């Protein structure tokens, strides 16, 4: 009777305390200077794109990467779409790419009518397996879109050699790879075109945001035009033409100045952010060594030619069941770990718009076993809790 009048009794206090106070998987890091940069943009009264802060970001990115041209976009997705436009892809053209990636890698090309041809990944780096690429090339192949998973480079010498022998362009989905390099070359500038992301889950952020990198001057001028709705507006503002007009098929790919102001603060502190991320990554890697030695998991591999940027810390557990249990146990202990990437070749839109160009044995296997640990600046204080919880989860 009481329960009828009062409704169900509340849960005992703090029963869900741990669930409600999870150590989150991600938390955006802010340097503290973003707001003053935004205030400056506000005071400048220039809020559309390509103002002072966008130019500052372009200069910083060009300095850091050595790209002939860096152009801010509103996302990495937009930069990939620009790449597909710049390559003049036609319906039926094929683009080789991994299946173990985010959907934007494929969408950008599918929007142009091109067909993603999915190739398996390497079991060590989870990057496109360069040994399987050549067999997937047909007379319709136009490009290879590599993804540097976790900010660790693909085997770019082999891939560049394959691409040049077959007359293919390389686009780098370097969404996760800012400040990473391969044999000393910054990722995003080894292929003709590279796409960076500044989404809040990445290393350097502006909420939503991205950049297109043009390795050499070849694509730079047309990239500028496509980004400005197909007009030569940028040349007009530089006084290079006396009126601006519609000259190509493009769209609006540029962010406004408020976003660029935020991003400029982050880019100015990029090295500090990178160092702190690497220190976090190293602590995970040290902690996991014993578990790897005892066969409970496999740690990530960084090939000798690669300098990475600690974009994420992932582990490979022995099976899907082991991963499910691990994530659940961590959750019960107040730690949020996640998995990701349903392989594109087994997704509804991937099956409809793409095809496989190799077996998918590794992709199918590892996509069930990858788990990503919490990773954000400021989480260092939680390491004792996270390691203790993970030790328990792995013991069970």
Ligand X SMILES: *Cc1c(COP(=O)(O)O)cnc(C)c1O
What are the residues binding ligand X (CB under 6 A)?
75-77, 101-102, 104-105, 147, 173, 175-176, 197, 199, 210
How many helices and strands (H and E) does the chain possess? 15, 13
Least separation in angstroms between residue 208's CB and ligand X is: 6
Nearest to ligand X of 173, 228 (CB atom): 173
Helix (H, G, I), strand (E, B) or coil at 289: helix
Nearest to ligand X of 252, 328 (CB atom): 252
Least separation in angstroms between residue 355's CB and ligand X is: 20
CA angle 314, 319, 323 (to 5 degrees): 50
Cα distance between residue 263 and residue 34, in whole Å: 8
User: CA 385, 280, 61, 109: dihedral to nearest 10 degrees?
Assistant: -70
Cα distance between residue 61 and residue 184, in whole Å: 16
Least separation in angstroms between residue 222's CB and ligand X is: 21
CA angle 325, 331, 335 (to 5 degrees): 120
Q: Which of 317, 311, 281, 279 is nearest to 296 (CA)?
A: 317
Cβ–Cβ < 8 Å for 145, 97: yes
Nearest to ligand X of 130, 172 (CB atom): 172
* Phi, psi (deg, nearest 5) at residue 173: -80, 90
Nearest to ligand X of 99, 104 (CB atom): 104
Least separation in angstroms between residue 363's CB and ligand X is: 14
Nearest to ligand X of 122, 199 (CB atom): 199
Least separation in angstroms between residue 318's CB and ligand X is: 25
Least separation in angstroms between residue 195's CB and ligand X is: 7
Nearest to ligand X of 130, 173 (CB atom): 173
Token pair for residue 357?
A: 């160009």
Least separation in angstroms between residue 244's CB and ligand X is: 28
Token pair for residue 272?
A: 């500090």
Nearest to ligand X of 102, 291 (CB atom): 102
Cα distance between residue 53 and residue 196, in whole Å: 18
Least separation in angstroms between residue 230's CB and ligand X is: 21
Nearest to ligand X of 197, 232 (CB atom): 197
Q: Which residues contact 148 (CB under 8 A, 6 or more apart)?
A: 127, 154, 172, 173, 174, 176, 177, 180, 187
* Phi, psi (deg, nearest 5) at residue 360: -120, 30
């Amino acid at each position: 009777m009481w329960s009828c009048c009062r409704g169900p009794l509340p849960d005992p206090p703090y029963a869900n305390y741990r669930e409600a106070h999870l150590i989150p998987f991600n938390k955006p890091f802010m340097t503290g200077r973003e707001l003053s940069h935004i205030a400056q943009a506000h005071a400048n009264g220039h809020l559309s794109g390509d103002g002072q802060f966008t130019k500052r970001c372009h200069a910083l990115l060009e300095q850091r990467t050595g790209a002939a041209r860096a152009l801010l976009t509103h996302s990495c997705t937009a930069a990939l779409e620009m790449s597909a436009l710049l390559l003049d892809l036609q319906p039926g053209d094929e683009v080789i790419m991994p299946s173990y990636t985010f959907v934007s890698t494929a969408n950008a090309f599918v929007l142009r009518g091109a067909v993603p041809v999915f190739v398996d990944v390497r079991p060590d780096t989870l990057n496109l397996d360069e040994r399987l690429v050549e067999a997937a090339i047909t007379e319709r192949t136009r490009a290879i879109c590599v993804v540097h998973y976790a900010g660790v480079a693909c085997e770019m010498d082999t891939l560049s050699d394959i691409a040049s022998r077959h007359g293919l362009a390389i686009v780098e989905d370097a969404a996760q790879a800012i400040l990473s390099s391969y044999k000393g070359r910054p990722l995003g500038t080894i292929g003709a075109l590279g796409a960076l992301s500044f989404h809040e889950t990445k290393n350097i952020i502006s909420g939503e945001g991205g950049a297109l990198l043009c390795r050499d001057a070849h694509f730079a001028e047309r990239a500028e035009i496509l980004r400005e709705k197909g007009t030569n507006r940028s040349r007009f503002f530089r006084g290079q033409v006396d009126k601006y007009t519609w000259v190509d098929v493009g769209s609006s790919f540029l962010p406004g100045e408020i976003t660029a102001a935020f991003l400029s603060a982050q880019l100015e502190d990029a090295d500090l952010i990178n160092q702190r991320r690497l220190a976090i990554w190293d602590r995970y890697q040290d902690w996991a060594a014993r578990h790897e030695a005892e066969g409970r998991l496999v740690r990530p591999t960084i090939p000798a030619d690669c300098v990475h940027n600690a974009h994420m810390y992932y582990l490979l557990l022995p099976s899907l069941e082991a991963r499910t249990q691990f994530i659940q146990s961590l959750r019960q202990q107040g730690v949020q770990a996640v998995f990701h990437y349903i392989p594109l070749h087994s997704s509804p839109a991937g099956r409809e718009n793409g095809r496989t160009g190799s077996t998918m044995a590794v992709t199918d296997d590892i996509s069930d076993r990858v788990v990503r640990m919490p990773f954000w600046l400021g989480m260092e204080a939680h390491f004792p809790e996270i390691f203790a919880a993970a030790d328990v989860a792995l013991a069970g």
